[in-house]
């Protein structure tokens, strides 16, 4: 099964930038690592969209 191409909305890209700016003030290395991890998780989700569990309360 192939995933779907990853497409960031303007809002999600802005959120990622805000997260980076918030963390970078205290720890630039952690900010870079964190943003990289979030981007990688989003990429994995686009490649394997049915890999997570169903959350019944949502």
Residue 58 included in any domain: no
pLDDT of residue 3 exceeding 80, the answer is: no
Q: How many domains does the chain have?
A: 1
Residue 30 included in any domain: yes
**pTM (2 decimals)?**
0.73
At residue 55 the predicted structure's pLDDT band, cuts being 50, 70 and 90, is confident
Range of the domain at 39: 10-47
| Predicted local distance difference test score (pLDDT) of residue 48 | 87
**Which of the residue ranges 5-9, 20-24, 25-29 would you say has the lowest mean pLDDT?**
5-9
Residue 1 included in any domain: no
Residue 56 included in any domain: no
At residue 1 the predicted structure's pLDDT band, cuts being 50, 70 and 90, is low
DSSP string, the chain: ---PPP---HHHHHHHHHHHHHHHTT-HHHHHHHHHHHHHHHHHHHHSTT-S---TT-
| Predicted local distance difference test score (pLDDT) of residue 26 | 95
């Amino acid at each position: 099964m192939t995933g779907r191409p990853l497409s960031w909305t303007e809002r999600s890209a802005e959120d990622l930038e805000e997260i980076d700016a918030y963390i970078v003030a205290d720890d630039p290395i952690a900010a870079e690592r964190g943003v990289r991890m979030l981007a990688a998780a989003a990429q994995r989700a686009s490649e394997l969209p049915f890999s997570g569990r169903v959350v019944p309360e949502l």
